[in-house]
Chain A
Amino acid sequence: MNSFFERKYIIQGIFIAAALLLALRLFYLQIVDDSYLLSANNNVLRKVVVYPARGVILDRTGKILVQNEPVYDLMVTPREVKPFDTLALCELIGIDKEGFDKRFQKAVGFSPYRASIFEKQLSSQTYARLQEMLYQFRGFYVQNRTVRSYPDSVAAQFLGYINEVTEKDIERSNNFYRPGDYIGVSGVERAYEELLRGQRGVQNLMVDAFNRPKGHFMDGKYDTLAVAGEGLVSSLDLEMQKLAEKFMKNKRGSVVAIEPSTGEILAFVSTPSYDPNMMVGRERGNNYMKLLNDPNKPMFIRPIQAQYPPGSVFKVVSALVSQQAGMIEEHTRYNCPGGYSYGGGRGFMRCTHVHGTIDLPAAIQGSCNTYFGHVYARMLDQRKMKAAQAYGLWREAIMKFGIAQDLGVDLPNEKKGLLPTANFYTKRYGNDKWGSGFNISNSIGQGEVEITTLQMANIMAIVANRGFYYRPHLIKSIGEKKIVKPEFIEKLPVGVEQRYFEPVIEGMSRVVKYNANIRIPGIEMCGKTGTAQNPHGKHHSVFFAFAPRVNPKIAIAVFVENVGYGATYAAPIASMMVEKYLKDTISMSKAVQDRVLKESNLIVPEPPKEPVKETITMVKKTKSAEDNVTYISHSQRAILERWD
């Protein structure tokens, strides 16, 4: 102890002050300032989005139409990237230095702090090699997800495709989607997007300073599992679909087959088509542009988007609604001298034959224009009301068959077809004093009337059911619980009593019975051939049918553009499909089969879009001064139906 003893207090004071300083600082860091906890979590936590597998789509027999295949996206968070051997990375994923810079700039442009896709859809082999080296590339990681794969390459237009979401998609979804997500763009992928997409999961992974995963944060307490999208069972029959696509190869047109008792679509073909696998993978962009610029429009969904004059299927509907209206009955007879004259003899609509005096079944069998001209005239002119009003009633009855309205099929962008309103004609003629003679072509399904192949097939289902239908649909059931949408089990009557169907069915039965080419041994098929005259080229070939007559199992419509008479292609195709479906065999003569299958390319380029030329479809018999009515169609595709 010496004289400076009291200095110990100063020194101890310094020690205490220093400890106090540290304590205050610790208090600030640990208690007051919360930001450090956040930073700590930012350091170690990586939110890894777990993408759910998109729902798989099966055909009605359980065969796979669409499945998923794993691919790997290389992600980058620009701020975390440390200098590294860029060349090695470029080599691994097969890009050049320039491509690297471009991708990196893009990622920086998106966000320096958030991960974005650097390179999409690496193969499993590339991924395996990359994974070993990944620790060298700080700021990069791999995220796996799945892409669609189509083992049989069929039903492209039905299945549609998925694509990366656009800004608009994200906005519309209230930010449900994030950049880089996929969304159904067309076909069933779009129609059932909400079910197929499933639910994203999030893993809160902890990583070390070298970005190596070290386990789940809080043992996965905040992780959410990805929920796979619902699987869908399609109504399609893969075998039927494949067969129909084989038959329709190199032809332009569509095929729709429906199971009448359920409305389930068995085959849904649109040609020219494409391999749905083209819309997947790294070449997707190029393929998409190729398909988009293809003059044959392979992405056009013909069964629901191509609208044709209905032709003779319209006679079937006309016969049904006219009986129900009490204007004709089975035995109502008209004389066909080879055409129907109207307007006091001023107009004449040709028939394909001179049918003589025939009743309703014979008129259906012969597709007699004259007979249906008379029927139409009765429906409009002899109902003790103005023709415009009668036309309104007639139109209403016709529309019950699903014509000129959405059938509600479970695909987007369905077209309605066309059946003008009474007002349309009143406007066209300036007053409501018009009558059946002014639009007589409607009687045989021409003029302003348009219909899709799906609607045509559905009319066959209605006839097969004798008076009702179920909404045609492509998805039979949803998910493991096999949920069926309620709108697809709702029976929709068309307002025509069952008894009125028999004369029509009898007529259709005779059509097939007397045509050796399309008759199916042991099965009574009821059908009708149509040949649509195409003023711009060869006729369209049409056939629609259902079978068997008793307890029908299938209704079908086949439309082949620009190939000539109905009997040449459409009828044999329909016949073979029906036989295959009902008997699992094809007895069609080899010659016909070969002709259908092997005929070289029948796709005629569609005529270039010219200004619409008015085409005269009605032949004027006399030219009279007071007759200022011109019977013309404004449709370029106007055609004249004839029985061959």
Chain B
Amino acid sequence: MNQTKKIYGGSLDWVTVFIWFTLCIIGWFNIRAAVFDPAHASLVSLSTNYGKQFIYIVTCLLVAGAIMIIDGKFYNYVSPILYGITLILLVVVLIVGRNVGGNQAWIPIGTFRLQPSEFAKLGSCLLLARYLSSHSNKTPNFKTLILGAQILLVPIVLILLQPDTGSALTFFALALVFYREGYLSGQFLAFSLICIILFILTLLFSQWYIIGVLAILCAIGAYLFKRSRKALPSAIILFVASSLFVLSVDFAYEHILQSHQRNRIDVILGKIDDPRGQGYNLNQSKIAIGSGQLFGKGYLQGTQTKYNFVPEQSTDFIFCTVGEEWGFVGSMFVVLLYLGLLLRITQIAERQRSAFARIYGYGVACIFFFHFFINIGMTVGIVPVIGIPLPFLSYGGSSLLSFTMLLFILLKFDANRKGVV
């Protein structure tokens, strides 16, 4: 782990910086394509999204530079304050926030719209790292897990009040951090996965069929392990638990989810086939990406995004422009860049000496992963439509800035990891 070059009291991970910058530039070009209008073709104009995004990117460069200058220890110390500030902002946004698209998500500051939920990720991530690292010498215990989870729960509740389900769900991705630190077991992850599968199956098929199949599976299991005395009771418990889960999912789906959320899920599951109604966004998104084929239509040649068939084409659905104009080749390039970034971040996290930096690194990876997978998954129709941005590509100052800060704070830790953080 000593292969990185020493740069001025530490070493900067240029691979990550390069990926970050590439993604920002790809984002900028695609935002330009998404709203391109030959009548106003100037490259930098503050009246256009890509003009503003250019300013944001420049700002991010400055902020990144500033982060590198500030002492790494600073972030550990200020994390409770930062967390506190973001919580206050989350409360403020509920009071003075601009209501956009049903969500009370933005605080207007001049022409800039501050989105506190984006910064809440950073604050929560830092505080969680600080809290878990302070217990890193002990064996992971349940109490620490609960207290750590509470750090996340507060912003989740505040964000849900906006209500911005997409951003709130992001925090659940941090479950992987608890897993990495040993607070959650592999069985727990597998159990979660089974729950998700059962959840989807329940929505697709009648719950009684599923319970029937579960009964058969448990019976087979009990028979296979009939030598073990525990086999029968565990099979029965497993069966009862999963049956209850299935029934409660069905109940939650029918009675707790709001109708628009139900519709979004139904569209994904193919239960509703209405390309003009509920499925419109998803359908147009798939059309845009699918029509790109192998090499895409060429830069600025896309029609679906440019002509407004795809909604939110420069924010949540920016990947449609990539898919349409750059085709499978371009899409895969972007997917691989993200995968490269995620693997690089885990690698960076693992090579940190301090638990704080490592835990923070995994937090960053989890947040990026969730955004990357849910956003692209949504545009290609394997995940319900959840409005969260694609890191560095989507238009928007708040998200770009908060993602950049998330990443560069980690890079700062990495740059002087030989010192004690």
Contact = CB atoms under 8 A, between A and B. Distances in A.
A36 B350 contact: no
Contacts of B130: none
A208 B376 contact: no
Given A4-B181, A207-B307, A209-B308, A31 B355 contact: no
B291 A19 contact: no
Interface stretch (B214-222, B233-241, B327-335): B327-335
A21 B292 contact: no
A43 B303 CA distance: 9
Contact of B180 (A11, A21, A43): A11
B286 A36 contact: yes
A30 interface: yes
Interface in A192-233: 206-210, 214
- Kindly name the residue among B180, B323, B336 whose own CB sees the greatest number of chain A CB atoms within 10 A: B180
B338 A19 contact: yes
B289 A36 contact: yes
Interface in B322-366: 323-324, 327-328, 331-332, 335-336, 338-339, 342-343, 346, 349-350, 355, 358, 362, 365
A12 B348 CA distance: 12
Interface residues of B, number: 52
A461 B286 CA distance: 76
Contacts of B365: 11, 15
A43 B369 contact: no
A37 B289 CA distance: 9
B288 A40 contact: yes
Contacts of A2: 136, 181-182, 355
A10 B186 contact: yes
A39 interface: yes
Contact of A11 (B136, B290, B358, B362): B362
Contacts of A550: none
Chain A at the B interface: mostly helix, strand, loop or mixed? helix
A481 interface: no
A26 B338 contact: no
Interface string B367-389: 00100110011001110000000
Chain B at the A interface: mostly helix, strand, loop or mixed? helix
B294 interface: yes
Nearest to B331: A26
Contacts of A12: 342-343, 346
A40 B308 CA distance: 12
Contacts of B289: 26, 29-30, 36
B290 A37 contact: yes
Interface in A1-60: 1-5, 7-8, 10-12, 14-16, 18-19, 21-23, 25-27, 29-31, 33, 35-37, 39-41, 43-44
Contact of B380 (A19, A29, A31): A29
B318 to A, nearest CB: 15
B290 A30 contact: yes
B180 A4 contact: yes
B197 to A, nearest CB: 14
Interface in A579-630: none
Nearest to A37: B291
A11 B176 contact: yes
Interface string B276-287: 100000001011
B307 A22 contact: no
Contacts of B284: 43
B208 interface: no
Interface in B169-212: 176, 179-182, 186, 189
Contacts of A16: 339, 343
Given A10-B186, A18-B373, A30-B328, A40 B350 contact: no
Given A22-B380, A36-B287, A43-B303, A15 B339 contact: yes
Contacts of B355: 2
Contacts of A3: 182
Given A3-B182, A5-B350, A43 B362 contact: no
- Kindly name the residue among B186, B293, B365, B381 whose own CB sees the greatest number of chain A CB atoms within 10 A: B293
Contacts of A8: 180, 346, 349-350
Given A26-B328, A30-B292, A31-B293, A4 B307 contact: no
B309 A27 contact: no
A15 B287 contact: no
A12 B289 CA distance: 27
B28 to A, nearest CB: 22
Contacts of A14: 176, 369
B182 A29 contact: no
A40 B362 CA distance: 40
A395 B332 CA distance: 90
A19 B307 contact: no
Contact of A43 (B304, B349, B358, B381): B304
Contacts of B331: 26, 30
A23 B337 CA distance: 12
8 contacts: A1-B350, A2-B136, A8-B350, A30-B289, A30-B327, A40-B288, A43-B284, A43-B309
Q: Top 7 nearest A-B pairs by Cβ distance?
A: A36-B290, A40-B291, A208-B307, A209-B308, A19-B339, A29-B290, A30-B328
Given A14-B176, A208-B307, 9 more contacts: A2-B182, A4-B182, A12-B342, A12-B343, A16-B343, A37-B290, A40-B290, A43-B304, A206-B307
